[in-house]
Structure 1
Amino acid sequence: MPSSPPPASSLWSPRRLAHESGLASVYQTGPDAWLIILSRSCRMLSYGASALILALFFAELGFPDARIGLFMTLTLAGDVLLSLVLTQIADRVGRRRTLLFGSLLMVISGVVFALCENYWVLLGAAVVGVISATGGDFGPFRAIEESILSELTDKDSRADVLVWYVTLASLGSSIGTEVAGRVLDLLMDETADNDENAPKKGEMRKSTWYAHIGRDTLSVMAVLWFLLSVDSVADGMVSMSLTTYYIDQKFHPAKTVLGHVLSAAYFVSSLSTIFSGPLARYIGLVNTMVFTHIPSSTAVLLFPFPDGVVGTFALLLLRVGLNNMDQAPRAALIAAVVRPEERTAVMGITVLLRTLASVTGPSVTGILAGNDRFWVAFVVAGALRLAYDLGLFVMFINIKLHRHEVVEETATQEDEEEGGREGAR
């Protein structure tokens, strides 16, 4: 349970700051939550590194833009089947075992990437494993982790804990991109020194394995799934790998500079995400999602228009800096509108549908880039993101939250009262 808020007179006291920032809720949730948050932070560190260099890596190997987009599309498609199967059976076989299995696949894929440069072998490794081609946290990990955190918390502490789950993940991405930029330039300098003439290379039933989701849940989630799919199509079109590739093609900045800016953007994201918890408490989950996401969406829409690198980097900072503030409220919103026994399955389907929607994006952008229309992808993606924001506000602003948890709490209280009366007899 979260700590009660201290008096207003102690506004800047450590206890007050811990409460408002959500750290008190994280601390009181316990070590299991700490380990999950740390695990995702480490995972996002590696995803942040790959987001900076993956498209550039394939370009250096000499693969055309269309193949780069195809690689990202097929990689996302590979995540679909893996996520669907693992999240639907995770509660039955054990969430820990499911996470360990996914981690093992990820390690194997990383080894293949380190040892091979063949396009089709790399594609197979990315499809079988959980390599993030876009820098996003696709695959089964996030759905299972969010479901675990939702059960470890209650309706009062859930948003705070999820905020830090997202915040430290963004910090991991920030560190990953910073390190990747520096290492990439260092390795390129060493390669040039050693070989100057080296050529460039272009609710669950116990009798079944699968979860059962009620019709009332489906009626609510169908609308949210559609809106999230629209947002995911846009994100797939302008993933961070493709965004850095666009900047590199347009302005040709040093990789270290690109790493600095992207790292700073992720760092700003990690700081801004802290405020989504207090915002959600004061203005609501849906308002927090919408009003923090609209500026980020607008930055995507306007991204190709600045003629200078400074304006482009400013829009990148705005986009990435605010982009994750809706993630913790979104997970808390899903947890608040579905039954506790449905959460893992619903969150897994959410990841599945978002991944499916993202599949078309990179290929479309690859074709546009190959025809010198790279900028169109950002305009379309920005418009789709804004449509998602407005649709979310219209459809969910008045939705009733926590109705299943209220019913369960009432039933528990009635059982306790009945037990007390029987004891008195």
Structure 2
Amino acid sequence: MPGIHPTTYLFAARALRDFGDGFVAILLPVYLLLLGFSPLQVGIIATASLFGSALLTIAVGFLGARRNLRWLLLASASLMTATGVAMSLADDYWLLLVIAFAGTINPSAGSVSVFVPLEHAALTREVSHAERTRMFARYSLVGALASAGGALSAALPDFTTGIGLERLTSIKLMFVIYALVGIAGGLLYARIPKRGASHETSRTPALGPSRAIVLRLAALFSLDAFAGGFVVQSLLALWLFERFDLSLAQAGVFFFWSGVLSAFSFPVAAWLSRHIGLINTMVFTHIPSSVALMLAAFAPTLPLALALLLVRAALSQMDVPTRSSYVMAVVTEAERAAAASFTSVPRSLAAAASPALAGALFAASYRSWPLVICSALKIVYDVLLLMQFRHLKPPEED
């Protein structure tokens, strides 16, 4: 299809991937509970998924500077397809644990994924410094809207019971759809121009002059991700199911609007960053969202809890495009794939630890504590980020 910009294929693939993640994040805990597993076991599966994702992401970080990005994206799409097929067939807990660890199941319905560093590096090489943050905002917008649509489609198993299809069977079919999404994503990645690493790049370390900056950012992002792991979307859905007896259809509608609010916050973040800078945008939108989450933990009624969670959704993701843009701006071109990976991997590892802890708190009937812990740690992260990086500005802010 001549004349189509490579970013279009990447945006479309991101949309498909996030659509699949959107319904899987909600259906995963329901599926596991229907199979007879406990909330603690659900948390352990989420932890295994995030930990496995971390190992895959660090591998592509090393390979991204030396291998063709299109080939790595195609391999990742193939793994997504295999994961969906395996999840639809398995019902043994240990087998499900292995699939979660080795596959692409994403309990957070966000950008904790092996695809992220590859797409970031591929996108950044296509735009100028001035356009970079707006491009990441559009990229995040597309993904969030698709994720919202995926969340809405999570209600389908409830409706199919009306035509005689068992709920468990319907959820298994949703995992088949997830596999088909992986195939469609692979077809889009195949349209990306083949651009291998230059001879010079292939001989340089994955991280060079920007190593110290990347390691400091990775440490801070790890704290943020560890905090967020207490309230990944699957566990937030579980909290709503158990605290307020929410139905699948109600959860799908809530996460749809939550995703829509997050999506339209991305262009606002890009606009705001042009006026107050990337770091300030990240910090001064994040703190109020954490306060809203903490208040939701103590909300006595479902409408108040949902309202506070929607306020959080409108603010909490504004750091996503700005964070991605900032990382790509403060490293050299040859380091971009590695920098995206090395700032994502510690996030994934840190996020992998907390869902199991949250599951243990759920099992002990301390259901609101994960929300409180998440909020407090994220506020600490925001303060440290502002203190350490407010003077390191990207090229367009100099």
State if a TM-score over 0.5 links the two structures.
yes
Partner of 1:213: 207
Partner of 2:157: 184
Alignment of 1:99-118 (within 5 A): 99-118=73-92
Alpha-carbon distance in structure 1 between the residues aligned to 2:289 and 2:162: 35
CA displacement, residues 63-111 of structure 1 (integer Å, 9 cap, x when unaligned): 0111111111111111122111122112322100000001101101101
Kindly provide the amino acid, as one letter, of the partner of residue 178 in structure 1.
Answer: L
Alignment of 1:304-343 (within 5 A): 304-343=297-336
The answer to whether residue 364 in structure 2 is matched with residue 385 in structure 1 is no
If asked which structure has higher relative contact order (CA below 8 Å, sep 6+), I would say 2
Cα 1:400–1:261 change in 2 (3 A) is: closer
The answer to whether residue 233 in structure 2 is matched with residue 260 in structure 1 is no
Is the CA contact 1:204–1:210 (under 8 Å) kept in the aligned structure 2? Answer: no
The answer to whether residue 289 in structure 2 is matched with residue 296 in structure 1 is yes
Larger radius of gyration: 1
Q: Could you tell me how far 1:321 is from its partner in structure 2?
A: 2.3
CA displacement, residues 262-301 of structure 1 (integer Å, 9 cap, x when unaligned): 1011011111211111111111111111122122211222
Partner of 1:418: none
Q: Could you tell me how far 1:375 is from its partner in structure 2?
A: 1.0
Q: Could you tell me how far 1:30 is from its partner in structure 2?
A: 6.2
Kindly provide the amino acid, as one letter, of the partner of residue 38 in structure 1.
Answer: A
The answer to whether residue 70 in structure 2 is matched with residue 127 in structure 1 is no
Q: Could you tell me how far 1:157 is from its partner in structure 2?
A: 0.5
Task: Give the TM-score normalised by structure 2.
Answer: 0.87
Instruction: Report the 3-state secondary structure (helix = DSSP H, G, I; strand = E; otherwise coil) of the residue aligned with 1:135.
Output: coil
The answer to whether residue 69 in structure 2 is matched with residue 95 in structure 1 is yes
Cα 1:193–1:238 change in 2 (3 A) is: closer
Alpha-carbon distance in structure 2 between the residues aligned to 1:276 and 1:251: 32
CA displacement, residues 7-52 of structure 1 (integer Å, 9 cap, x when unaligned): xxxxxxxxxxxxxxxxxxxxxx961111111111110011010111
CA displacement, residues 329-360 of structure 1 (integer Å, 9 cap, x when unaligned): 11111111111111111111111110001111
Kindly provide the amino acid, as one letter, of the partner of residue 7 in structure 2.
Answer: A
Alpha-carbon distance in structure 1 between the residues aligned to 2:271 and 2:283: 15
Kindly provide the amino acid, as one letter, of the partner of residue 349 in structure 1.
Answer: F
The answer to whether residue 260 in structure 2 is matched with residue 287 in structure 1 is no
CA displacement, residues 223-274 of structure 1 (integer Å, 9 cap, x when unaligned): 2211111110011111011001001101112221111111011011111211
Partner of 1:162: 136
Cα 1:210–1:302 change in 2 (3 A) is: farther
Q: Could you tell me how far 1:173 is from its partner in structure 2?
A: 0.6
Alignment of 1:350-361 (within 5 A): 350-361=343-354
Instruction: Report the 3-state secondary structure (helix = DSSP H, G, I; strand = E; otherwise coil) of the residue aligned with 2:393.
Output: coil
Q: Could you tell me how far 1:400 is from its partner in structure 2?
A: 3.2
Is the CA contact 1:88–1:210 (under 8 Å) kept in the aligned structure 2? Answer: no
Question: Which of 296-305 and 347-356 deviates more?
Answer: 296-305
Unaligned runs of 5+ in 1: 1-28, 196-202, 407-425
Q: Could you tell me how far 1:191 is from its partner in structure 2?
A: 5.0
Kindly provide the amino acid, as one letter, of the partner of residue 213 in structure 1.
Answer: L
Unaligned runs of 5+ in 2: 169-196
> What is the alpha-carbon root mean square deviation over aligned residues?
2.3
Q: Could you tell me how far 1:378 is from its partner in structure 2?
A: 0.8
Percent identity (aligned): 29
Alpha-carbon distance in structure 2 between the residues aligned to 1:193 and 1:204: 54
Cα 1:191–1:248 change in 2 (3 A) is: farther
Partner of 1:223: 216
Is the CA contact 1:174–1:262 (under 8 Å) kept in the aligned structure 2? Answer: yes
Kindly provide the amino acid, as one letter, of the partner of residue 282 in structure 1.
Answer: H
Alpha-carbon distance in structure 2 between the residues aligned to 1:170 and 1:184: 22
